[in-house]
Amino acid sequence: MSEQGVAGEQLRSIIDRIENLEEEKKTISDDIREVYAEAKGNGFDAKILRQVVRIRKIDKADRMEQEAILDLYMHALGMVPDVG
């Protein structure tokens, strides 16, 4: 078999795998969308749920640092009343 034939088979295999994974990704995205719709139907705020999911992915130390910086910025902009 020629090099082009082998490369063609490899390329076809790679493309097939990518297409299969893209289809799986679409199915999973649809499933996630359905769960958010279900949550919304049960009275939960989908935007807030998405935020919670995103926040839970962050390492605790990184999250605490981000929250501290956010708090600092919000105070500097007068978005949070000073207590005390």
Q: Report domain extents, the chain.
A: 3-44
Q: What is the pLDDT of residues 19-34, one digit of tens each?
A: 999 999 999 999 999 9
Q: Residue 81: what pLDDT? A: 79
With a cut of 60, say whether residue 4 has pLDDT above it: yes
Q: What is the pLDDT of residues 38-83, one digit of tens each?
A: 999 999 999 999 999 999 999 999 999 999 999 999 999 999 877 6
Distance CA 36, CA 49 (A): 8
Distance CA 48, CA 54 (A): 10
Q: Residue 34: what pLDDT? A: 98
Task: Indicate the pLDDT class of residue 6, thresholds 50, 70 and 90.
Answer: confident
Which residues have CB under 8 Å from 80's CB, separation 6+?
71, 74
